[in-house]
Structure 1
């Protein structure tokens, strides 16, 4: 009985916090500008930038929490904070373009009430963004890789000779190669806690880049929060990389 009561009290406390975050982020964006999916692709292509996408998982880790497929670590927390703070401090003049989930940040918070899962998943992220990262800076749209935008995001690898496909399942690399008719090299990552293998993954990516001569190569990364760090490391060394997330196996859906 005590365990049951404790569980009920815990759930009540969670929803009280969620209501607080929801209430104080009904209007979330005051200063930041968000590009459209097309605008995001144009920004990336015209300036030869890599792409990093943040969502609720990254905000959770920055705030000190783990997520289902990536345990919390202070090192990862520091690296994610550095990515967004460096981007803001330089007014976006980094080798990577940072994209955030504009659909869920720009909308009136009351729109989240359409689905309980929206309130549960996004109230904290909206509040956290408003408190820390709603600055006068231009963000891309992290929902660029929603299934509705395939005809837009495919231009990111137009003219590319080789794609290094970083994912936990080879079959998606093979599907990509068949669909887009591009030479594709596969680098496998764990489906959980990929960050712990960051250096091994980077080593394999660099090995593939060297083997291909480093010309007209793009790296597509699906590796959770670790993927953000991988793209940052690659872009700092002058390589193009796009944090696609799991659009290949679990595509994003726009807010309805």
Structure 2
């Protein structure tokens, strides 16, 4: 059985790396700079797909979200959507990996070599996608000097804007740094840090109650991918920003490996039982609603 599995994996790898690229062009993914320009210039909402979202579509769980058939169906709906006010983003990793460091090159090379066909089967030919790694501008990049400018460009999107941040209970986006310092005001909705799609209807309802005249920023893993799309359909601009705050913290630390961040949940590095509640009174005042999960 192990031998047969090895042969199968060898065949899949060869097909995805040698055969398929010869017959099917790589998807059109605009640069991270162009992605930011489209968000800023056209007021687009974005939903991002990465290895976690694709894993859910393939019927698998990830570390903080169990597989959910409804979530799978919704993710497929989003990735195939063509709403002019909404941009679907996928990783810009299918034609060149030159901009990435060795660790990221290895990860994405291996990932694409086994999953290229499955991903291509979800995409629309001649469709233009944004770069989902727009919110991962530091750790995996060779040229880290460009990261600061990229963050500044992103921060210009919410300059002088009223924000509604929808995040996991321990994410604490912007707490302890100046990522949102130029925003006009901030409200927060806290959601369960594990399996939050189980509470999706409550999350959506609470966001709609608080989103009037606000730009919505979401960090909820695959749930954010769906939520940003649904909010766009309701006329609310929403950005799935994922690990942006974590990347910003790492840049400020000049980290060269994925390091823990004090009092914040980083799913790659730290357990929630080590996280203390922040003493920042402004943060507490910003919380307008908390979606309760199972303890």
TM-score relative to the length of structure 1: 0.77
* Larger deviation, residues 177-186 vs 138-147: 177-186
- Residue 248 of structure 1 aligns to a residue whose secondary structure is helix
Query: Could you give the per-residue CA deviations for residues 142-170 of structure 1, whole angstroms, max 9, x where no partner exists?
Result: 1111232312322221331x111111226
Structure 2 Cα separation of the partners of residues 171 and 108 of structure 1: 31
Question: In structure 2, which of residues 227, 231, 240 is the aligned counterpart of residue 230 of structure 1?
Answer: 227
Paired with 1:159 and 1:64, the residues of 2 have a C-alpha distance of 41
Per the normalisation by structure 2, the TM-score is 0.68
Q: Within the alignment, does 1:106 sit opposite 2:107 as a pair? A: no
Q: Which runs of no fewer than 5 residues in structure 2 stay unpaired?
A: 139-146, 252-295
Q: Indicate yes or no: 2:24 matched with 1:22.
A: no
Alignment of 1:206-217 (within 5 A): 206-209=208-211, 214-215=212-213, 217=214
Q: Is the 8 A contact 2:165 2:188 kept in 1?
A: yes
Q: 1:91-110 deviations in whole A, cap 9, x for unaligned?
A: xx4321011100x222279x
Task: Give the 3-state SS of the residue equivalent to 1:98 in structure 2.
Answer: strand
Tell me the residue number matched to 1:90: none
CA gap 1:36/1:165 in 2 versus in 1, 3 angstroms: same
Point out where structure 1 has 5 or more consecutive residues left out of the alignment.
1-5, 88-92
Check conservation: 2:158, 2:182, Cα contact below 8 A.
no
Aligned length: 231
Match runs of 1:138-149 below 5 Å: 138-145=128-135, 146-147=137-138, 148=147, 149=150
* Partner residue, 2:141: none
- Residues 17, 166 of structure 1: alpha-carbon distance in 2 compared, 3 angstrom cutoff: farther
Is 1:46 equivalent to 2:41 in the alignment?
yes
Is 2:123 the partner of 1:133? yes
Change (3 A) 1:57 1:158: same
Say whether 1:70 aligns with 2:60: no
Deviations, residues 184-238 of structure 1 (Å, cap 9, x unaligned): 11111222211001112122212222xxxx22x2111000111111111110000
Taking only aligned residues, the RMSD between alpha carbons, in angstroms, comes to 3.1
Question: Matches of residues 182-221 of structure 1 in structure 2 within 5 Å?
Answer: 182=183, 183-209=185-211, 214-215=212-213, 217-221=214-218
**Distance in 2 of aligned mates of 1:186 and 1:174:** 12
Distance change in 2, residues 1:97/1:223 (3 Å):
same
Higher RCO (C-alpha under 8 Å, 6+ residues apart): 1
Q: Which has the higher helix share?
A: 1
1:152–1:125 distance in 2 versus 1, CA, 3 Å = farther
Cα distance in structure 1, aligned partners of 2:196 and 2:46: 19
Shift in Å, 1:19:
3.8
* SS state at 2:73 partner: helix
Specify whether residues 184 and 74 from structure 1 end up closer, same or farther in structure 2 by C-alpha distance, changes over 3 A only. Answer: same
